A and B are shown apart, each in its own frame.
Chain A
Amino acid sequence: MQRRPFLLGCGCLAFAAAAGVHADEYDYQVPLRFSRPDPSSDEGGLWAFMDREEQRLKRSSFLLRDPALHDYVNRIACRLAGDHCPEMRVYLVRTPYFNASMAPNGMMQVWSGLLLRMQNEGQLAAVLGHEIGHYLQRHSVERLRDIKSRSSFAQIVGIALGVAGGGNLGALAQVGILASGLAYGRDQEREADRIGIALMARNGYAPAEAGRVWGQLLEEYEGAKAAGEDVSTTNILFASHPPAEERREVLAAAAKRDWPGAERTGADEYRAALASHRMGFLYDEVRRRRFGESLVLFDRLLKASPRDGQVQYFKGEAYRLRGREGDTKLALEAYRAALQLDTTPPEVHRSLGTVLRQTGEDAEATRAFQRYLELKPDAEDAELIRSYLTGSQS
C-alpha cells in the first residue's frame, strides 16, 4: 500500500552492512549549506515539483497547527541538521501511519502515527536524523538521475500513485511517496542510517534508541500476524524481505560499541510535548482497524506508563471495535482497569455502558451512562444517552 519512506529503508540494510561497520563510518562530515539549484537543471525541476506539493500541504486541513508541538519537533530537527537548519521546514500531519520524509527542497513531513509510536525524543531524533541523512546526501537527486537513465519521471510518478491505491490514503500519502525520493536504494538507506545515528549521538541522545525503533515496529508487525490480520499491505518490504531484524541489530550493536555512555532519551519531555494531542492520535489509531498492531502499541505504551488511563481506555476501544468472540470481555476488563488509572477520559463510562447493555447488565450500564452524563452533560450524544436511560429509545 503506502510506501513509507523511512520504512523503505528497512528493506535496504543487508548483511554486508552488518559485517562492515566500523566506528569511523560514523564520523560523518556534514556538507556545506545548499543553495537553490538552477531551475533548468534536473535537480531544479525536482525542487519545483516539491515546492508545488509543499504549497498544497500548507493549505491542508490535515496539518497539525499547534505552534508549541511544532516548535518542539522543529527544535529537535534543527539541532540534528545543524547548519542546514534554515533550509528545512517541518510539517506535522494528522495521518495515523508510521512515516516521516524529507524532500530535496527541505520540506520535512512528520505524521501523527509516528509521533504516537515513538517512546521518547531519542527515538524521534533517530527517525528525523535518518531522513536528514537522505537530505544531506541528496539521495533523491541521485535516485532521480538513476531513474531517468532507465525510464521517464512521469512513469515513475504514475507507478508511485498506483502503489498508493489510487488515493486510498489521499493526496498526502502520494506526496509522501514522491517526497521519499522515489524509493531510496539499499546503499542510500545504509548511509542514512549511519548518518542518523551519528547525528543523534552528537546531540546527546542515546543511540540505542535507533535500534529500538525497529524492534518496536517488528513487534507491531508480529502482533498483526498473530491476530490473523493481513500483513501483506502493512509494508511490502516486510513481506518480501526480512530486513528490520538486521537493521535493529546493526544499530543496536553500533550504539553499544561506539557510544556506550550516551543515555539521554528525553522521555519526559517527549511525553509532555505530545500530551494535548494523545487523545486524538489514539482515537485515529484505533480507527485504522489494524487492531493487532494497535494492541501491541498500547501494551508498549502502558509498560512505559502503567498509570496511563487514556491508553488503557483505547485498549478497551480496540477490543470493542474489533468485536471478535471474547473481545467483549477483554473490552470490559480494559475499561474497568482504566477507571482505576489517571487521566482516563469520561468516554470510558459511555463505552462501559454500551458494552454492559449488550451483555444484559442493565443496572451497571445505567450507572455508567449516568456517570458519563454527569461528567459530560453537553456531550454530542447526551440526548441519545438520556433516551437510553429513560427507555424512550432502544
Chain B
Amino acid sequence: MRLTPWLAAAALCTLAGCAQMVKVEPGQVTVKEALSLNTANAWNRFELGQLYLSVAPGAAEVWTQDGITLDALAFFVGVAQGETLGSALPGTSKKLPAFRSTMTPGDVVELYEQMVTQDGSAFALKRVAPGRFGEQPGFRFEHTITRKSDSVLLKGVGQGAVVKGKLYLVVFTAPSIYYYDRHLPQVEPLMASARIRAP
C-alpha cells in the first residue's frame, strides 16, 4: 500500500528521465550547507530536475515519504534580497515577486501563495502567527491548497524565519485525507530541529 504510489511516481520519472531519488538516513542532515535538521525517520530526497512540482517549484530540496504527489516537505534555504522564493512556471512570461529582507511573515506567506497558485491551484490561509524556527524567532502558517490538476485538497504547514536578511522556510503539504495527519507527527519535530548554520 505504502510502496505502490511511490513506485508509480518513481517509475514515471525514471521513464521521463527527469528526476532521481536519494535516501535521507535518520540523524543529522544538512540542506544546502546552510540548514541542519535532525530526522528520526528516513526520507526520500527527490531531485526534481526538469520535473515541475506545483507545491514547491524551485525548492532547494524536496523530501517525501510516500511520493511527491502524496506528501512533500520542501526546503527554501537562504533566499536573499531580490531572489524569488521558488521558480516560475515553465513556459510562462509571468514573473514571481522577489523576496525583500524587510518582508513581514505576512508578506512571506503571500510570496508562497503566489508561487503555489501559478498553475491555477487555490490557496487558503488558515492561520499565521509568530513562532519559532529552531532556535530563532520566526513564524508559522497553516493553509490548504486545492490542487488544480486533480482537485485534491492538500493541507499544509510552514515554518520559517528571516535571519540576517535571508529567508529560511520549510513547508510540508499532503492530501488532507489520511496523508497529512499520517506524516505530521514526524514533520513537527523535524521542523523544530532546524538550525541555521550559515546565515
Footprint of B on A, CB under 8 Å? Answer: 1, 59-62, 94-95, 165-173, 229-230, 232-233, 287, 289-290, 321, 323, 350, 354, 357-358, 380-381, 383-385, 387-388, 392-394
Contacts and interface: CB of A to CB of B under 8 A. Distances in A.
Contacts, number: 99
Contact of A173 (B91, B110, B120, B129): B120
A168 B119 contact: yes
A314 B81 CA distance: 26
Interface stretch (B39-47, B69-77, B144-152): B144-152
Contact of A165 (B91, B95, B130, B148): B91
Given A380-B126, A380-B128, A381-B128, A59 B151 contact: yes
Contact of B104 (A59, A172, A173, A357): A357
Nearest to B150: A171
Contact of B90 (A165, A233, A289): A165
11 contacts: A61-B151, A166-B90, A167-B119, A168-B92, A172-B148, A230-B93, A383-B130, A384-B105, A384-B106, A384-B139, A393-B105
Interface in B136-158: 137, 139, 146, 148-151, 153
Given A62-B146, A170-B149, A354-B106, A393 B94 contact: no
Given A383-B130, A393-B137, A289 B94 contact: yes
Contacts of B105: 384, 393
Q: Determine which residue in A169, A384, A385, A387 has the highest number of CB atoms from chain B within 10 A of its CB, and name it.
A: A384
A384 B129 contact: yes
Nearest to A321: B97
Interface of B: 52, 89-95, 97, 102, 104-107, 110, 113-114, 117-122, 125-130, 137, 139, 146, 148-151, 153
Contacts of A290: 94
A182 B179 CA distance: 39
A392 B119 contact: no
Given A94-B122, A168-B92, A384-B105, 4 more contacts: A61-B122, A170-B120, A385-B106, A393-B105
Given A61-B153, A165-B91, A289-B95, A380 B127 contact: yes
Contact of A383 (B91, B113, B129, B149): B129
A177 to B, nearest CB: 14
A169 B120 contact: yes
Contacts of A392: 130
Given A167-B119, A170-B148, A230-B93, A384 B130 contact: yes
A357 B103 CA distance: 10
Given A61-B151, A383-B129, A287 B117 contact: yes
Contacts of A1: 91-92
Given A165-B91, A383-B129, A384-B129, A171 B148 contact: yes
Given A170-B120, A354-B106, A393-B137, A384 B128 contact: yes
Given A166-B90, A173-B120, A380-B125, A289 B106 contact: no
Nearest to A322: B97
Contacts of B107: 354
B189 to A, nearest CB: 22
A95 B89 contact: no
B153 A358 contact: no
Contacts of B52: 166
A1 B93 CA distance: 10
B63 to A, nearest CB: 23
Contacts of B119: 167-170
A211 B128 CA distance: 46
Contacts of B90: 165-166
Contact of B93 (A60, A232, A383, A385): A232
Contacts of B146: 61-62
B114 A289 contact: yes
A172 B149 CA distance: 8
Nearest to A62: B151
Contacts of B92: 1, 165, 168, 233
Contacts of B153: 61
**A167, A229, A388 interface centre (most CB from chain B within 10 Å):** A167
Contacts of B94: 230, 289-290
A323 B127 CA distance: 25
A380 B150 CA distance: 27
A358 B149 CA distance: 37
B97 A167 contact: no
A307 B3 CA distance: 58
A288 to B, nearest CB: 8
Nearest to B102: A358
Contacts of B125: 380-381
Contacts of A357: 104
Nearest to B152: A61
Nearest to A382: B129
A385 B107 CA distance: 12
A60 B91 contact: no
B114 A287 contact: yes
Contacts of A60: 151
A59 B150 CA distance: 10
A282 B104 CA distance: 24
Contacts of A229: 93
Contact of A387 (B102, B121, B130): B130
